[in-house]
Amino acid sequence: MAQIRIRKTNERIEGEAEVKAFLDSHNVVYEHWNPTKLPEALREKFILSDDEKAQIISTYEEEIRDLAARRGYEIWDVIALSDSTPDIEKLLQKFEQVHTHTEDEIRAIVSGKGIFIIKSEDEVGYFDVELEPGDVISVPENTNHFFTLMDNREIVAVRLFIEKDGWVAYNIEDPDFIKA
Ligand SMILES: [Fe+2]
């Protein structure tokens, strides 16, 4: 289950109903897939072959097709990141830049952990959404955000796109951004 941390106040929001209500109020989609559907051999595995990625897609095919039908996604893939990922430091540096997209950014966490840092339109400011396996989240289009790993630095997630080529990051230098 996801947890929220508000950067300005360090306030934490825990508990499924509270987290859901907070994210709903910021138009952030928050749903769940069953993390135990993942085959045993793929659990806590962060270096994946193409076959293993395909196996993850087929494990969650029903959930993916349901999301795609409801929200208009056309393509999907699996991303795996860990300290074994080539150029992980460079990648993380690139990730940790506030940006927007013209379509929403949806991720379903399959293994490991990650954080979306999202800017609220109201006085709440930037908040962290800490994600664990089974959490599905979508950052609305044109909303300042970025994604990064947590201390374990390991994640596997399913990404869905309306149009992959159109999924471009527009970097933003935001004076309101509060680091960690
Ligand atoms: Fe993004």
Nearest to 138 by CA among 165, 164, 109, 97: 109
Count of domains forming the chain = 1
Is 164 a member of any domain? yes
Whether 48 maps to a domain, the answer reads yes
DSSP letter string, the chain: --EEEETTT--EE-SHHHHHHHHHHTT-EEEE--GGGS-GGGTT--S--HHHHHHHHHHTHHHHHHHHHHH---EEEEEEESTTSTTHHHHHHHHSS-EE-SS-EEEEEEEE-EEEEEE-SSTT-EEEEEE-TTEEEEEPTT--EEEEE-TT--EEEEEEES-GGG---EE---TT----
> Does 123 fall in a domain?
yes
Task: Answer yes or no: is 176 within a domain.
Answer: no
Distance 105 CA to ligand 1 centre (A): 6
Identify whether the C-beta of residue 63 lies closer than 8 Å to the C-beta of residue 110: no
**Residues 20-29: what's their mean pLDDT?**
97
Range of the domain at 63: 3-171
178 found inside a domain? no
What's 126's domain CATH number?
A: 2.60.120.10
Q: pTM value?
A: 0.94
Confidence (pLDDT) at 134: 98
Give me the pLDDT at residue 79, please. Answer: 96
pLDDT confidence of residue 117: 97
pLDDT tens for each residue of 55-105:
999 999 999 999 999 999 999 999 999 999 999 999 998 889 999 999 999
Question: Looking at residue 29, what is its pLDDT?
Answer: 96
Residue 177 lies in a domain: no
107 found inside a domain: yes
Which tens digits make up the pLDDT trace of 137-165? 999 999 999 999 999 999 999 999 998 77
Q: Is residue 180 part of a domain?
A: no
pLDDT at 108 over 80: yes
Annotated binding site for Fe(2+): 99, 101, 105, 145
Ligand 1 centroid to Cα of residue 5, in Å, is: 19
Q: What is the pLDDT of residues 47-57, one digit of tens each?
A: 999 999 999 99
